[in-house]
A and B are shown apart, each in its own frame.
Chain A
Amino acid sequence: MRDRQHRTALFLLAMAAGAASSLGPTPARAHAAPTTLAAVLATQPEGLVPPELLNSVTVEYPPALAEQEAPPAGQVVVKLTIGTDGVPKDLSVETSIDPELDRLAVEGVAQLRWKPATLNGDPVEIVTRLGIDFTPPPPPEPEPEPPPVEPDPAEPVVDAPPDEPDPVPETPDADGPVRMKGVILEAGQRTPISGATIVVVPADPDAKLGEIKKKDYAAEKEPAWQAQASSDEEGRFEVRGTGSGKARVIILAPGYERIEFVEALYEGMEIDVKYYVSRSPTNPFRTVVEVENRREEVAKRTISAAEINVLPGTQGDALKAVQNFPGVARAPFGAGLLAIRGTGPNDSAVYLGYHEIPTLFHFGGLTSVFNSDIIERIDFIPGNYDSRYGDAIGGIIDVEPRQGRRDGFHGYVDSDIFDTGILFEGPIGEGSFAVSGRRSYIDFLLPVFLPDDAGLDLTVAPRYYDYQVLFDYPLGGGNLSIRGFGSDDRTRLVAANPNDVEPDERNRFETSQYFHRADIVYTKRDGPWSFLVTPSYRYDFFDLGIGDFLSFDLVTHNLNGRAEARAQLTKRHAITFGTEFQSYFFQVGVKAPPLPDSNGGSSNAVFDIDVDGYTAIPALYTTGEIGVSDDFTFYPGVRIAYYSSPFQTATFDPRLRFGWQLADRTVLKGGSGIYSQAPQPVEASNEFGNPRVGPERAVQNSLGISQTFDYGIEVDATAFYNYLWDNISESAETVERPDGTIGPENFANSRIGRVYGLEILARKQLTGNVFGWIAYTLSRSERRDTPSDEFRVFDLDQTHILTLIGSYKLPKNWTVGARFRLVSGNPNTPVVGSQYDASGGFYIPINGAINSERFPTFHQLDIRVDKAWIWKLASLTLYLDVQNVYNAQNVEFWNYSFDFTQRSEIASLPIIPSIGTKIEF
């Protein structure tokens, strides 16, 4: 099938201050920027000669954006300073229309050159603005099936428009000899920089050879000669037609710091040079997360890697960063619980590379189990997600790993107080690889700092590691990815009684949790079609042992698969359909006393059971895109899943969303749909739960409006109402069990719930020096366990969740940031009395009404300071991350006395400074 990718060139018209005349060659499509002109002319002082544009630049409209249902269009306004050397600097976007187009606009403007402005004859800097218009190319038409043998003259043949002329090349003096050649590389990364401009002018004969650290532009004079060149894709350049003697070499590359050198050019000789340039601290587009926004979720939040790296309070952890978005409840003690829109942590799903992972963080919240630096994209969807996601009634986090770099071999060593991680990546043939690993050293450090009389023998102190191996290769017109990754957490300690001669094994506590996963992913695009096939195998192990009375071992073999196809039928219509197969075979061995209910004391029974089982959840799903008009699109979808043994139940989940472009910068989105998930395995087990329980259900409804403003500011507000039913509740009923015996029901699908609220996100994207956001959630989450109960608030119901985040990039590669959180306290069930369990020798609490109290309001300030040093071959980043700067004593739980007659506060984490360093090459 022919490549129907359109290439449309848009010419950028720069309206420099006071320069109303045509700039450069006549563009094919030119759009003026009257705001710029008027603003500058109104303030033009006497004696000012405006700068004069010397060249023009062509910017291509990105094909990926052009394929969107509603490609972004409009004018990007870039603010810049034209230096006394005619080179633009301090570029920032004042009016944004799309992150990708903003980037292209900034890059294009950075390549423009001016004859500097003068004031009374002296060169001066000018601050001005440029407007760059973007118009998407015509939409693609579907490939006719089958292709006609001969063109039908009655139907127009749609063909790619002819390529626009290439950007005007630099025009060195072709007659002169090559006097200087070399390569431009990025400092610290050693990657070639294409499109850099190399300007060579005579230097003061007394100038010292080497890099010029400071330059007095006021002393500039008109150069006697000037030569210029541009670097090619490999960063190489050749300069011809220069004079002889000492020369000043100026390297200008968009998004990079300007550097200057003094070189000696001798008559008849050619010099070979290598220059390293550093990224500009104001360059916001180093690793922007691209969002292919096909599925118009009602509220989908994304965060860029550049933002994650400097987010206070998260130690640069991408998945922790998600916890700062609206709709996510604050977890006690900074744990890694993801309670989304008033649902429990088990109600949301985390996808990593198209399949779920069993755990997101080491030891429940310390750091995520997947290296944040090899993540391509994180989508956080708190509700009304697409039909491709199933087995969840809360929210979705979808993490997509990236490919290894192909621009050379790179890597880093990253250390902080908990662990050290390494990454190595590079090309392999036409493909790429990335290998990464991390290991904690708490097990080495803790015994050193733990007092000898602490009563703990740390046989294995808390220890974790994780690894990732990614391999990508182009195959058959598509891309083949082979991924292997895993995580391993272990702890073993023995609590020593002071009057024990030796530590007693009966006082041991040990946990092990690890998983290993292997994926194959094949993706391919063929005209309007795109395909995905991905099988996956995962091995999980979980072990818990307390003394010699409780042991729990769970081994799970997970075999999953997904196949998906998408067709862009017309400009406005598309359809996706796919199938997902989840299956797991588990073996569990338990030796434990049974868990009494919430008011229970000691029990006289002991479980000693080995159980195995198999469950499969095959599902079919489809989502359509129906563009009613250019501004209004429906996304109907449905997911049909079958839950095999022990459930043997099918679910039918219809879902509908819409997106309505009310104005250029205003989008209204809404959705309604049904969602299902299987109960937890223990709840459905014959031995511990109730095999009669079925899937839990929810209907999610949301309506949101999104408005963008200048300066990269977005405001998004979403109202939601979710109703939950058939949710699992503990049950003390005595019933006839499926095997005919009489026994406790344990669990039943009797719980219903309702969650409603409003989420607001005001966000300044990382353009210029500043980024940050204000996230606010107002919500209420309630549950009713049985029809005879009253509604009560949910365990993690938090009425108000306010998060303020800001980060500012300072000169010399300094960055400072802060995060402040103000959150309603979690509900709490008070203890109103106690009963002495004379069999066990301890007190049992007598609880009051469930969740009838709240802990005090939580508030905390975190700060972060980063400093980077960039050298030719490597770079070093040092950061200080301080959590809970003013050491707020936020109450997370009550600590009761042994007889529950008195209580004291258990505060959240105290002030925790964390220092980390990262060496990159």
Chain B
Amino acid sequence: MSAPLAQRRAAFLAGLLSLPTLAACGMGLPIEERIANTRPLAIRAEVDDPAATDEAPVRAEALPFETARMVPFIVDPEGALTLDEVETELQPRWLACNLAPIEGLGTCLANRAPLDLDDVPACPMVDFGSIDPSTGEFPEFPSPCEITTGTPSQPELTIPFDIAYLIGGDIEVTMVAHRPDAGNTDDCLEQLLQGGTQADERCLFVAQRLAVGPDAVLLDLAGQFGLEDIDEFGDIPETLPDADTNPRIQSFIVREFDEDDNEVAVFEPMRGEVITAQAGHRLDIETIAPEDDLQTFPIRTDDGFTDEEEAYEGLWFTTWGSLLSGSSDDPLSLNSWDLVRGEQDEEGVLPPGERATMYYVLRDGRQGVDWWWFHVDVTQ
């Protein structure tokens, strides 16, 4: 298991251990699995790779001079926001910042604050042809800088070259936006650059690590290009690892059960599709992500390298009703969704607009992510 998933589990377990104390105290706080307002759930990095086949998973890890597209998954109680809605309702702006090898996400900007908005330049275009690696000097890439290429809802960044990437450094990509009909993005951006001590609830701040690597491939390439003293940055494994890729949710099967536990319908909804089910019934969901998409990757140790395995971590969200569990961690993930009013839902046997939505976000323990969602028209 790698870091993001690990941290989440650590937080989960820490919370679990203090359950007896927290149980009484946590009453009334919003439930994480319940989508009650506009919320970001994920950002997927998609590396533009002309050589990739349609069947191959999309890379989430880029090498310098490659271009990566950042795709946000932002939802609200009525469903996933389209790219147009993201652009018009949230008006996001995007920043890129070089993360040191062990820096946690969010610290890159925080450690450089306070900054004035005017001091953050646009990220320059990276010109591969202007670089002569034999000199050992590379054009300085401003950090942080604002990503202005691509579209506001799907920005694109061509990865520069930085020595820190050779030892595990990455790029922190931050989306700054305002909530629909509240605040404005420029103010939010200014607050973030000032250190966030005046953070505004009308703002959305979302950070995603854009992995640059794999490190071993970077070192190998740097050596091929004549960069000296590569050995100082560490050994290179005998077999160069593959880049981190995004996992793929393969199927989504929904079975409807009545109050007597009789199966009354089976659905295979596509992303964003609408199905119909009766209030009071239970929906059992089964989703499969290929186990083959889980990658093995090397971790540097004192004795060389050791292999680590990716692991699935699925997060489940709904706009109404109650879920059996908020998470799952297997290629075949199961969950149950009771179409009855949840703890923090409004009065009534039906959801607002008589429609409820389920969202599912699947991460692979590194930077790979995929998502799925479907709507249920709930009938009496």
Q: Any chain A CB within 8 A of the CB of B375?
A: no
CB contacts (< 8 Å) of A834 on chain B: these are 199, 205
Q: Any chain B CB within 8 A of the CB of A119?
A: no
CB of A833 within 8 A of CB of B3, answer no
CB of B104 within 8 A of CB of A603, answer yes
Known: A497-B325, A832-B197, A901-B201. A602 touches B9 (CB 8 A): no
Residue among B6, B232, B330 making CB contact with A547, cutoff 8 Å = B6
**A455 vs B325: C-alpha distance in the bound complex, in angstroms?**
11
Interface positions, chain A 530-560, Cβ under 8 Å from B, are: 546-550
**A601 vs B26: C-alpha distance in the bound complex, in angstroms?**
23
Q: Any chain A CB within 8 A of the CB of B280?
A: no
Interface positions, chain B 172-195, Cβ under 8 Å from A, are: 174, 191
**A734 vs B107: C-alpha distance in the bound complex, in angstroms?**
14
Interface centre among A454, A548, A603, A832 (most CB of B within 10 A): A603
In the complex formed, the residue of A with least CB distance to B112 is: A732
17 A-B residue pairs with CB within 8 Å: A497-B328, A499-B324, A499-B333, A507-B9, A601-B104, A602-B4, A603-B104, A606-B3, A832-B198, A837-B4, A838-B40, A840-B4, A840-B105, A846-B196, A898-B30, A904-B29, A907-B25
**A847 vs B201: C-alpha distance in the bound complex, in angstroms?**
14
CB contacts (< 8 Å) of A833 on chain B: these are 191, 196, 198-201, 203, 205
Interface centre among B10, B19, B303, B313 (most CB of A within 10 A): B10
Interface centre among A497, A599, A836, A839 (most CB of B within 10 A): A839
CB contacts (< 8 Å) of A848 on chain B: these are 197
Q: Any chain B CB within 8 A of the CB of A841?
A: yes
**A844 vs B19: C-alpha distance in the bound complex, in angstroms?**
21
Given contacts A547-B10, A741-B232, could you give 15 more A-B pairs where the C-beta distance is less than 8 Å?
A497-B328, A507-B9, A546-B6, A550-B6, A597-B104, A600-B105, A601-B106, A605-B168, A732-B107, A838-B207, A839-B4, A842-B7, A844-B207, A847-B197, A895-B22
CB contacts (< 8 Å) of B303 on chain A: these are 610
Of all A-B residue pairs in the complex, the 4 with the closest CB atoms, nearest first, are A833-B199, A596-B104, A600-B104, A549-B6
CB of A600 within 8 A of CB of B3, answer no
CB of B110 within 8 A of CB of A599, answer yes
**A876 vs B61: C-alpha distance in the bound complex, in angstroms?**
71
Task: Report the interface size class on chain A.
Answer: 35 or more
Q: Any chain A CB within 8 A of the CB of B101?
A: yes
CB of A904 within 8 A of CB of B105, answer no
Q: Mark B8-31, 1 if CB is under 8 A from A, else 0.
A: 111111001111011001111110
Q: Any chain A CB within 8 A of the CB of B83?
A: no
Known: A495-B12, A741-B232, A846-B199. A603 touches B105 (CB 8 A): yes
| Min CB–CB distance B327 → chain A (angstroms) | 7
**A596 vs B18: C-alpha distance in the bound complex, in angstroms?**
23
CB of B107 within 8 A of CB of A597, answer yes
Interface centre among A601, A608, A842 (most CB of B within 10 A): A601
Q: Mark A737-762, 1 if CB is under 8 A from B, else 0.
A: 00011011000000000000000000
CB contacts (< 8 Å) of A905 on chain B: these are 25
CB contacts (< 8 Å) of A498 on chain B: these are 324-325
Q: Any chain B CB within 8 A of the CB of A471?
A: no
**A596 vs B7: C-alpha distance in the bound complex, in angstroms?**
11
CB of B6 within 8 A of CB of A837, answer no
Enumerate chain A interface residues (CB-CB to B < 8 A): 454-456, 495, 497-500, 504, 506-507, 509, 546-550, 592-594, 596-597, 599-606, 608-611, 732, 734, 740-741, 743-744, 832-842, 844, 846-849, 895-899, 901-907
Q: Any chain A CB within 8 A of the CB of B363?
A: yes
Q: Any chain A CB within 8 A of the CB of B135?
A: no
CB contacts (< 8 Å) of A611 on chain B: these are 302
CB contacts (< 8 Å) of A846 on chain B: these are 110, 196-197, 199, 205
In the complex formed, the residue of B with least CB distance to A852 is: B197
| Min CB–CB distance B362 → chain A (angstroms) | 10
CB of A904 within 8 A of CB of B325, answer no
CB of A497 within 8 A of CB of B327, answer yes
**A418 vs B186: C-alpha distance in the bound complex, in angstroms?**
58
CB contacts (< 8 Å) of B329 on chain A: these are 497, 500, 504, 506
Interface positions, chain B 328-347, Cβ under 8 Å from A, are: 328-330, 333-336
CB of A604 within 8 A of CB of B168, answer yes
Interface centre among A841, A846, A899, A902 (most CB of B within 10 A): A841
Q: Any chain A CB within 8 A of the CB of B209?
A: yes
Known: A897-B29, A898-B30. A841 touches B105 (CB 8 A): no
Q: Any chain A CB within 8 A of the CB of B208?
A: yes
| Min CB–CB distance A333 → chain B (angstroms) | 8
CB of B206 within 8 A of CB of A499, answer no
CB contacts (< 8 Å) of A593 on chain B: these are 2-3, 6-7
| Min CB–CB distance A731 → chain B (angstroms) | 11
Known: A495-B16, A593-B3, A610-B302. A838 touches B208 (CB 8 A): yes
CB contacts (< 8 Å) of A601 on chain B: these are 7, 104-107, 207
Residue among A454, A499, A835 making CB contact with B334, cutoff 8 Å = A499
Residue among B72, B106, B232 making CB contact with A844, cutoff 8 Å = B106
**A548 vs B26: C-alpha distance in the bound complex, in angstroms?**
28
| Min CB–CB distance A509 → chain B (angstroms) | 5
**A498 vs B323: C-alpha distance in the bound complex, in angstroms?**
10
Residue among B16, B101, B105, B205 making CB contact with A602, cutoff 8 Å = B105
CB of A602 within 8 A of CB of B7, answer yes
**A575 vs B339: C-alpha distance in the bound complex, in angstroms?**
82
Q: Any chain A CB within 8 A of the CB of B301?
A: yes
**A248 vs B39: C-alpha distance in the bound complex, in angstroms?**
91
CB of B325 within 8 A of CB of A507, answer no
CB of B102 within 8 A of CB of A835, answer no
**A500 vs B1: C-alpha distance in the bound complex, in angstroms?**
18
CB contacts (< 8 Å) of B27 on chain A: these are 904
**A593 vs B209: C-alpha distance in the bound complex, in angstroms?**
15
**A847 vs B110: C-alpha distance in the bound complex, in angstroms?**
10
| Min CB–CB distance A739 → chain B (angstroms) | 10
| Min CB–CB distance A516 → chain B (angstroms) | 27
CB contacts (< 8 Å) of A454 on chain B: these are 19
Residue among A602, A608, A743 making CB contact with B3, cutoff 8 Å = A602
Interface centre among B9, B174, B299 (most CB of A within 10 A): B9
| Min CB–CB distance A274 → chain B (angstroms) | 53
**A504 vs B200: C-alpha distance in the bound complex, in angstroms?**
39
Interface centre among A455, A499, A547, A903 (most CB of B within 10 A): A499
**A611 vs B299: C-alpha distance in the bound complex, in angstroms?**
17
CB contacts (< 8 Å) of A837 on chain B: these are 4, 105-106, 207
CB of A840 within 8 A of CB of B205, answer no
In the complex formed, the residue of A with least CB distance to B309 is: A548
**A500 vs B211: C-alpha distance in the bound complex, in angstroms?**
31
**A26 vs B155: C-alpha distance in the bound complex, in angstroms?**
108
Q: Mark B99-120, 1 if CB is under 8 A from A, else 0.
A: 1111111110011000000000
| Min CB–CB distance A908 → chain B (angstroms) | 9
CB contacts (< 8 Å) of A456 on chain B: these are 16
CB of B30 within 8 A of CB of A901, answer yes
**A636 vs B5: C-alpha distance in the bound complex, in angstroms?**
57
Known: A604-B2, A906-B25. A836 touches B207 (CB 8 A): yes
In the complex formed, the residue of A with least CB distance to B367 is: A839
CB contacts (< 8 Å) of B167 on chain A: these are 741
**A504 vs B311: C-alpha distance in the bound complex, in angstroms?**
13
**A919 vs B256: C-alpha distance in the bound complex, in angstroms?**
63
CB contacts (< 8 Å) of A606 on chain B: these are 2-3, 299, 308
Known: A602-B3, A841-B363. A507 touches B324 (CB 8 A): no
CB contacts (< 8 Å) of B324 on chain A: these are 498-499
**A499 vs B323: C-alpha distance in the bound complex, in angstroms?**
11
CB of B107 within 8 A of CB of A596, answer yes
Q: Any chain A CB within 8 A of the CB of B204?
A: yes
Known: A604-B170, A744-B100. A840 touches B5 (CB 8 A): yes
| Min CB–CB distance B277 → chain A (angstroms) | 19
**A593 vs B103: C-alpha distance in the bound complex, in angstroms?**
10
CB of A509 within 8 A of CB of B110, answer no
CB contacts (< 8 Å) of B127 on chain A: these are none
Interface centre among A495, A600, A609, A611 (most CB of B within 10 A): A600
